[in-house]
Amino acid sequence: MAHYAKVLNGEVIDVIVADSNFINSFVDTSPGEWIQTSYNTFGGQHNNGGTPLRYNYASIGFKYDADADAFYAPQPYNSWTLNTTTYMWEPPIEYPSGNNLYSWNEKDQAWEIVND
């Protein structure tokens, strides 16, 4: 079994688990295209050492870049940029090291410690 994302106008609108024979013979009259995605691919790396597929596992709301053949999450903040090596969003300031949890403050362009 494999995972397939339904893409319409560059956006993932559905994700299913199906056998490739089903996908190859399935008659879908609704708009969009079914594209295979890998549950084990994240940031252009395969978790189990296999061959990565389309940079990231697709989820509903993700974008699909057909030219790069890449799935990626929606932009989380206006200041973040898409790394086209990993197809992951990167903040303008690196996440702080240490044991604290932080959240991004877009207005101040800074990481803030999350209080429990």
pLDDT digits (tens, 9 = 90+) for 56-68: 999 999 999 999 9
Evaluate whether 47 touches 41 at the Cβ level (below 8 Å).
yes
Query: What's this model's pTM, rounded to 2 decimal places?
Result: 0.91
Rounded CA-CA distance 110/116 in Å is 19
pLDDT reading at 69 higher than 90: yes
- Give, in order, the Cα–Cα distances in Å from 65 to each of 9, 11, 25, 72: 10, 9, 25, 8
- In three-state secondary structure terms, 21 is helix
Structure tokens at 32: 């969009």
Average pLDDT over residues 41-69: 97
80-57-66-52 Cα dihedral, nearest 10 degrees: 110
Quick check: 116 pLDDT over 80?
A: no
Provide the greatest CA pair distance for the chain. 52
Whole-angstrom distance, CA of residue 44 vs CA of residue 65:
14
Residue 10 tokens, joined? 């560059």
- Percentage with pLDDT > 90 across the chain: 95
C-alpha to C-alpha distance for 49 and 70, rounded to whole angstroms: 19
